């Protein structure tokens, strides 16, 4: 039985480790987070993902997966650590470099090293390969090296790890082939081999495509607000064209991928990427746009009940979430802010979380920032009984309100918040 060492037990590393264990490998998952390691060794998980808890318990109980704070001698090493941005939006590769250096004492001839972390173009060639070479190995001959970027959707990770097409970029052809054989142990989707540089860029463009298209929808929302147009209806009708697929607008873009990856391209080719750069600016402007509209419906010093801290629905991931910036902006505007998110634990955030009842008590507005399933059917009786002003501002366009006495705003009727615009529309 071959052994795999997965460095990084986050939202991608842990599911990947569990999936390889399920497919028959002996797997050790490595992380500096001792809590995550200890939980893993108890057959438990520290993140939220559908089906992952059950899978981890099964493979841990079977003795095929364990956690450790240090790497171990293995046949295959998979690096799956974060690649955040510095404040100037350039890539912070320290985690990738550190993870690569951590496995050096455990390498032996014939090992395969795979980087799953999303990285800027040329990271494998300019950073990872030289680190391994500096320790005395001939990369591509004695140690094989590949980049296999993850391309899964939170909430569907265990499904998409298996079914999605996988892109394998090798430092040379033999490295790509060896990596493809490894993923072929459980991937049912096509496995396509290419160069490391092409694999790096293809992953970045997948997320950049979505970011730019969300920016287009967000810009449409701003235009529609100014002109008194229902942006959501425009999107619905435009998408009836067979070659149009406008994305949905929202309060901003979050998560480790869409809010981060486009900057990796901008960093490497700033003059050649004005569209990507401007898309980032549009999406980054949305938290301020949301707060400006809250100001139209809630008096200063009023109470805003913020529903949803994660960057997308039905997960517990708050990384780069626009909700966090919106909360800070609301507090700067001297609003009283209460927070409710049934998927987030208190230790994940610096803000105090509330229950549904406490969050809406004497509130002047419920501000929906995440499309959790729990928010799609709000308790309208409690809204009437507990809120000072029964208003819902739904930036995710996901709530169904039946009562006509509850004022409901989404991105289809923002212009109704402003009496000046509403009067213009009537004329």
Cα–Cα distance, 414 to 421 (Å, whole number): 10
Please pick, among 22, 203, 312, 396, the residue that the annotation labels catalytic.
203
171 closest CA partner among 236, 234, 123: 123
Cα–Cα distance, 379 to 385 (Å, whole number): 10
Cα–Cα distance, 80 to 96 (Å, whole number): 8
Cα–Cα distance, 315 to 305 (Å, whole number): 20
DSSP state of 353: P
Locate the DSSP E strands across 182-341.
Answer: 191-195, 303-307, 336-340
Please pick, among 178, 257, 303, 312, the residue that the annotation labels catalytic.
257
Q: Does the annotation mark 178 as catalytic?
A: no
Kindly report the length of the chain. Answer: 427
Alpha-helical (H) ranges within 228-379 are 231-238, 261-268, 274-284, 286-297, 322-332, 356-360
254 closest CA partner among 80, 121, 396: 396
Q: Does the annotation mark 203 as catalytic?
A: yes
127 closest CA partner among 18, 200, 186: 200
Kindly give, in sequence order, each residue whose CB lies less than 8 Å from that of residue 225, ignoring residues fewer than 6 positions away: 231, 414, 415, 421
Among all residues, which ones are annotated catalytic?
203, 257
């Amino acid at each position: 039985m071959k052994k795999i060492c997965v460095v990084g037990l986050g939202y991608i590393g842990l599911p990947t480790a569990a999936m390889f264990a399920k497919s028959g490998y002996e797997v050790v998952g490595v992380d500096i987070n001792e809590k995550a390691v200890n939980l893993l060794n108890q057959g438990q998980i520290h993140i939220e993902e559908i089906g992952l808890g059950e899978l981890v318990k099964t493979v841990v109980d079977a003795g095929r997966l364990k956690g450790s704070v240090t790497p171990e001698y293995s046949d295959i090493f998979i690096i799956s650590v974060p690649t955040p941005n510095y404040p100037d939006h350039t890539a912070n590769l320290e985690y990738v470099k550190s993870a690569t250096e951590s496995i050096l004492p455990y390498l032996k001839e014939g090992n395969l090293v795979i980087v799953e972390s999303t990285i800027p173009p040329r990271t494998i060639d300019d950073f990872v390969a030289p680190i391994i070479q500096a320790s005395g190995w001939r990369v591509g001959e004695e140690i094989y090296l590949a980049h296999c970027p993850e391309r899964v959707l939170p909430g569907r990770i265990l499904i998409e790890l298996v079914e999605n097409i996988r892109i394998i970029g090798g430092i040379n052809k033999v490295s790509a082939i060896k990596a493809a054989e490894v993923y072929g142990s459980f991937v049912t989707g096509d496995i396509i081999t290419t160069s490391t540089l092409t694999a790096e860029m293809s992953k970045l463009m997948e997320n950049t495509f979505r970011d730019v298209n969300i920016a287009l929808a967000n810009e449409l929302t701003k235009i529609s607000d100014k002109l008194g147009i229902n942006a959501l209806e425009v999107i619905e009708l435009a998408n009836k064209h067979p070659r149009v697929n406008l994305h949905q607008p929202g309060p901003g873009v979050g998560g480790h991928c869409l809010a981060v990856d486009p900057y990796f391209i901008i960093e490497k080719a700033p003059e050649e990427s004005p569209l990507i750069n401007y898309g980032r600016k549009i999406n980054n402007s949305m938290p301020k746009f949301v707060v400006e509209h809250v100001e139209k419906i809630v008096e200063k010093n009023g109470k805003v009940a913020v529903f949803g801290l994660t960057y997308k629905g039905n997960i517990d991931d708050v990384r780069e979430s626009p909700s966090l910036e919106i909360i800070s902006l609301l507090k700067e505007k001297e609003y009283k802010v209460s927070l409710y998110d049934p998927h987030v634990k208190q230790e994940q955030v610096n803000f105090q979380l509330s229950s549904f009842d406490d969050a809406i008590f004497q509130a002047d507005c419920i501000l929906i920032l995440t499309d959790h399933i729990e928010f799609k059917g709000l308790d309208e009786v409690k809204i009437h009984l507990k809120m000072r002003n029964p208003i819902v501002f739904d930036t995710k366009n996901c709530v169904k309100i039946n009562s006509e006495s509850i004022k409901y705003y989404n991105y289809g009727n923002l212009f109704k918040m402003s009496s000046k615009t509403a009067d213009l529309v009537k004329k």
